[in-house]
Amino acid sequence: MRTQVLIVGAGPSGLLLGQLLHKAGIENLIVERQSGGYVLGRIRAGVLEQTTVDLLDEAGVGARMHAKGLLHGGFELAFDGKRHRIDLQALTGGKSVMVYGQTDVTRDLMEARASAGLPTLYEAQDVSLHGFDSDAPFARCKMAGKEIEIRCDFIAGCDGYHGVSRASVPAAVIQTYEKIYPFGWLGLLSDTSPVSHELIYGRHERGFTLCSMRSQTRSRYYLQVPLSDRVEDWSDARFWDELAQRLGSETAAGLVTGPALEKSIAPLRSFVAEPMRFGRLFLAGDAAHIVPPTGAKGLNLAASDVYYLWQALGEHYREQSQAGIEHYSARCLSRIWKAERFSWWFTSLMHTFKNEPAIDAKLHRSELEYLISSPAAQTVMAENYVGLPW
Ligand code: FAS
Ligand code: PHB
């Protein structure tokens, strides 16, 4: 088989890149380890920056997002039984975020790819990448036990943190940076009306909470839990009780509980791999970086990587220019590190760290009190939350 751009991974990064390349007349093929149903079954991100919304529109997949998505002009910080609104629109000259789940984004992209008749090899096993340091890269994989070889001009590694792309790069030419947080997020999805019309990020001595949503009738909640916890330790009843405790009686009075449609624990890490290009192999999205989800940056960083790669490959094929390709990694990393910093800062501010020195707890508290009292501090938070320019 042959294509111009081989994309490894059919998550949001791979699907969005495939759609944009197709619209630019650049042939592409996606190989995905899992089934389409499995990919759709993963419940992840929920907040899109305006630049991500614009790129999804550019890819021609924005219709359902604009019909179903919820535009949010602010969110709340809750601590000590009080809630403080961060007015994103007032602090950023009118910017908002779009609340629209990653599952919906992935479905919209999958349907667009299928209706364009673009090739996606699902359940591709033992994907291996070769020759990306030459002008003739290729991949091998097994489809229903039969080995196939795919020759291409470029490989886009969109296969997430555990993918084969970054793992295929010789250790001597890649530098990684990682911080593992000593807790995870237990997420619950339920067909219940959200406890509030905007997101609430809560700091409580028992741990962080996040009240989010997918629609006016579907809620997404998160609890900070120890890394030793397993999903089976958490019955629905235990989850709702703990959430109510951490929210406090006033907010919990508005909490509508119901059966979990999905419950999962995600570990939290900050991770960056440098550089993001190795000859004719490019890393994009979670394959190159991970942020703790507190700042809602993961999916949005994947989108900006895809934007830069789409531009670079378009210049290559249209104008025979290498400029975008040469500049890809530095361009991505400049934005990635700013989002890593914001996500680390917001996570450190809102989570409880067991056995932390007493002074650290005092410093976190004073930072929260400064934040809610200072329009300047809130402006910094707001401009990072809505997304820094591309
Ligand atoms: P993905 O991991 O989504 O997709 C990679 C794809 O590559 C997968 O479909 C995988 O099956 C495939 N793949 C892997 N190895 C392969 C191989 N060898 N061959 C072929 N295919 C292979 N972000 C937020 O903003 N908010 C959140 O609340 C949030 N929660 C998250 C929870 C979890 C458990 C995880 C893991 C991430 C979460 N994220 C969150 C971040 C998430 O949204 C990512 O940023 C987003 O999925 C990135 O998309 P991709 O880069 O496409 O990577
Ligand atoms: C979500 O709705 O899944 C979500 C929203 C905001 C975040 C993280 C996750 O910061």
Q: Kindly indicate whether the domain formed by 5-72+96-177+269-347 is annotated with CATH number 3.90.1150.10.
A: no
Residue 166 · residue 174 · CB < 8 Å? yes
Query: pLDDT at residue 331 above 90?
Result: yes
**Residue 43: which pLDDT band, with cuts at 50, 70 and 90?**
confident
Q: How far is the CA of 298 from the centre of ligand 1 (A)?
A: 9
What fold is seen in the domain 181-268+353-386?
D-Amino Acid Oxidase; Chain A, domain 2 (3.30.9)
Residue-range domain boundaries for the chain: 5-72+96-177+269-347, 181-268+353-386
Q: How far is the CA of 158 from the centre of ligand 1 (A)?
A: 9
Task: Give the catalytic positions in this structure.
Answer: 72, 201, 293, 297, 385
Please report the atom of ligand 1 found closest to the CA of residue 39: 9
Please report the atom of ligand 2 found closest to the CA of residue 213: 2
Instruction: State phi, psi for 185 to the nearest 5 degrees.
Output: -110, 120
Q: Whose CA is nearest to atom 13 of ligand 1?
A: 159
Question: Does residue 386 line the site of ligand 1, with CB under 6 A?
Answer: no
What is d(CA 4, CA 220) in angstroms, rounded to the nearest whole number? 39
What is d(CA 238, CA 228) in angstroms, rounded to the nearest whole number? 17
Q: Report the DSSP pairing between strands 125-130 and 120-121.
A: unpaired
Q: Whose CA is nearest to atom 4 of ligand 2?
A: 46
In this prediction, residue 336 carries a pLDDT of 98
What is d(CA 204, CA 200) in angstroms, rounded to the nearest whole number? 12
Per CATH, 5-72+96-177+269-347 and 181-268+353-386 having the same topology is answered: no
**Residue 320: which pLDDT band, with cuts at 50, 70 and 90?**
very high
To test the pocket of ligand 2, the residue of 42, 43, 47, 261 to mutate (highest count of ligand atoms within 8 Å of its CB) is 47
pTM of the model: 0.97
Residue 132 · residue 125 · CB < 8 Å? no
Would you say how long the chain is, in residues? 390
**Percent of the chain surpassing pLDDT 70:** 100
Q: Whose CA is nearest to atom 6 of ligand 2?
A: 296
Write out the H or E segment, with its range, that includes residue 316: helix 298-319
Tens digits of residue pLDDT in 199-232: 999 999 999 999 999 999 999 999 999 999 999 9
Mean pLDDT within 266-277: 98
**Residue 322: which pLDDT band, with cuts at 50, 70 and 90?**
very high
As beta bridge partners, residue 273 has 176
Question: Does residue 164 line the site of ligand 1, with CB under 6 A?
Answer: yes
Of 29, 14, 375, the residue nearest 159 (C-alpha): 14
